[in-house]
Amino acid sequence: MGDDVDIDVLARRCGGMSGADLFNVINIAAVRASSEGKDAVHMNYLEEAFDRVLVGLQRRNPMSDAERR
């Protein structure tokens, strides 16, 4: 865990999450940090992972007319 990780902030954001959700957040953050060659998981990776688990992945391209039909 990086020095910039604030446990109090993480605890507030975890309210109502299941154990599986927490596991997913930490796993996503760890994978992202390791893919960028980091030795620790920093707060920005955890925040991105929270958003991804709670909101889901953002669709990059809007649906085409064919997809809508």
pLDDT at 31: 96
DSSP string, 20-68: HHHHHHHHHHHHHHHHTT-SS--HHHHHHHHHHHHH-PPPSSPPPHHHH
User: What is the spatial distance between Cα 63 and Cα 66, in angstroms, rounded to a whole number?
Assistant: 8
pLDDT at 60: 65
Model's pTM, two decimal places?
0.74
Helix axes 43-55, 19-35, angle to 10 degrees: 130
Per-residue pLDDT of the chain (69 residues; tens, 9 = 90+): 899 999 898 888 888 888 998 999 999 999 999 999 999 999 999 999 998 888 776 666 677 778 777
